[in-house]
């Protein structure tokens, strides 16, 4: 339980509602900032303006998945209020106060440095990334169905990268009956792809490995689907780029060649916000409980 622990939940989207539900269940004391237009009232949580929060008792600040923008502004879909997480506010928190965010940026890095607080990036964690791969794959299937006129079954699909997302994407499309080949650069990844019953190829051979593909699914956050690679694809090839912005595809060249290339960020929050929220909520509540236990022991 998190009885009595004061937590500020600042901004977010539908995913954050699952976090709030879970923290209330665990008996935390919640200050909700950026939720004034949310019809739903949560018992045990108070909706506050950011300058109304008593940060001197706040043990954890929970930000949405993207954290802040480069000016410190926190996005929320439940308010028109402009919310900025400033150094001045964070300095008011107790020394043990931890900030939780999906990812970080220059602003957040600087903020935790200047205030000497801890930042936990939930999406850096393997467990969160692997659980999150599940709705990501479902969203990818949805996009492939929407943007092709052939079945996934018996189609030729190239998956680029065998990380947490790439592995789930490759396995699931294969189970759906696609002929899946996977590009990687490490010999152990090539071995794993072979072991999974899929067709491996080295990324250095990417250009020659896409000459007959129907769909390319990229998970590598570096420019990998270059103009040279795109020029070797059949004209009907669909490129779905899952890598974080700006993706790993030369979109300008794809458009010029008439190849449909789609950057598809944030699929879990789009196709399954409830599950995506529960993934964050479960890991977050465990981290908060561990932190509380740790402080009690010291
Ligand atoms: P990951 O586990 O780190 O996997 C990344 C893969 O890219 C690894 O196979 C890695 O291979 C490869 N890679 C990285 N840099 C490379 C380079 N320069 N050349 C060749 N290969 C390279 O990451 P992940 O969790 O699978 O996530 C992949 C991407 O998807 C990230 O950008 C993530 O933000 C994004 N994502 C998007 C969504 C969405 O909804 N679109 C959802 C979740 C995640 P090595 O081991 O050889 O480095």
The 10s digit of each residue's pLDDT in 93-151 is: 999 999 999 999 999 999 999 999 999 999 999 999 999 999 999 999 999 999 999 99
* pLDDT (tens place) for every residue of the chain, 298 residues total: 999 899 999 998 889 999 999 999 999 999 999 999 988 778 879 999 999 999 999 999 999 988 999 999 999 999 999 999 999 999 999 999 999 999 999 999 999 999 999 999 999 999 999 999 999 999 999 999 999 999 999 999 999 999 999 999 999 999 999 999 999 999 999 999 999 999 999 999 999 999 999 999 999 999 999 999 999 999 999 999 999 889 999 999 999 999 999 999 989 989 999 999 999 999 999 999 988 887 777 6
Pairwise CA distance, residues 7 & 103, whole Å: 19
Residue 66: both structure tokens together: 């993207």
Terminus-to-terminus CA distance in the chain, angstroms?
18
What ligand 1 atom has the least distance to the C-alpha of 222?
18
pLDDT of amino acid 64: 93
Name the residue of 129, 219, 275 to mutate for ligand 1: max ligand atoms within 8 A of Cβ.
219
C-beta 155 within 6 A of ligand 1? no
Tokens standing for residue 65: 């998945």
Q: Say yes or no: CB of residue 204 within 6 Å of ligand 1.
A: no
| Ligand 1 pocket member 218 (CB < 6 A) | no
Report pLDDT for 292: 82
Q: What are phi and psi of 184, to 5 degrees?
A: -145, 170
Q: What's the residue count for the chain?
A: 298
Omega prior to 126 cis, within 30 of 0? no
pLDDT at position 294: 79
Say which residue the tokens 């900030």 belong to: 99
Confidence at residue 110, expressed as pLDDT on a 0 to 100 scale: 97
Per-position b or e across 52-73, b if 16+ CB within 10 A of its CB = ebebebbbbbbbbbbbbeeebe
Instruction: Quote the longest CA-to-CA distance of the chain.
Output: 64
Question: In angstroms, rounded to a whole number, what is the distance separating the alpha carbons of residues 160 and 62?
Answer: 33
The residue whose C-alpha atom lies closest to atom 5 belonging to ligand 1 is: 163
The minimum-distance atom of ligand 1 relative to the CA of 133 is 43
**DSSP β-ladder status, 98-101 and 58-62:** parallel
Does ligand 1 have an atom closer than 6 angstroms to the CB of 287?
A: no
């Amino acid at each position: 339980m998190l009885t009595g622990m004061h937590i500020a939940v600042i901004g977010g989207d539908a995913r954050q509602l699952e976090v709030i539900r879970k923290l209330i269940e665990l008996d935390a004391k919640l200050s909700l900032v950026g939720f004034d237009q949310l019809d739903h009232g949560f018992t045990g949580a108070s909706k506050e303006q950011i300058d109304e929060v008593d940060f001197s008792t706040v043990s954890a600040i929970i930000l949405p998945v993207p954290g802040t923008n480069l000016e410190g502004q926190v996005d929320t879909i439940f308010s028109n209020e402009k919310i900025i997480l400033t150094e001045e506010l964070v300095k008011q928190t107790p020394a043990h106060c931890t900030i939780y965010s999906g990812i970080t940026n220059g602003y957040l890095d600087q903020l935790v440095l200047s205030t000497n607080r801890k930042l936990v990036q939930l999406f850096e964690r393997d467990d969160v990334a692997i659980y999150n791969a599940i709705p990501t794959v479902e969203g990818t299937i949805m996009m492939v169905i929407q943007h092709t006129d052939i079945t996934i079954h018996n189609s030729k699909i190239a998956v680029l990268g065998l990380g947490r997302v790439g592995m789930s994407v490759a396995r699931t499309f294969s189970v759906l009956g696609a002929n899946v080949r996977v590009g990687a650069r490490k010999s152990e990844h090539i071995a794993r792809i072979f072991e999974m019953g899929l067709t491996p190829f080295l990324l250095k051979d990417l250009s020659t490995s896409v000459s007959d593909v129907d769909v390319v699914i990229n998970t590598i956050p570096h420019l990998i689907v270059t103009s040279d690679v795109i020029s070797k694809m059949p004209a009907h090839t669909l490129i779905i780029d899952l890598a974080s912005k700006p993706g790993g595809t030369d979109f300008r060249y794809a458009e010029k060649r008439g190849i449909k290339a789609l950057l598809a960020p944030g699929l879990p929050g789009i196709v399954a916000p409830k599950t995506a929220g529960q993934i964050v909520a479960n890991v977050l509540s465990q981290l908060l409980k561990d932190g509380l236990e740790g402080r009690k022991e010291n």
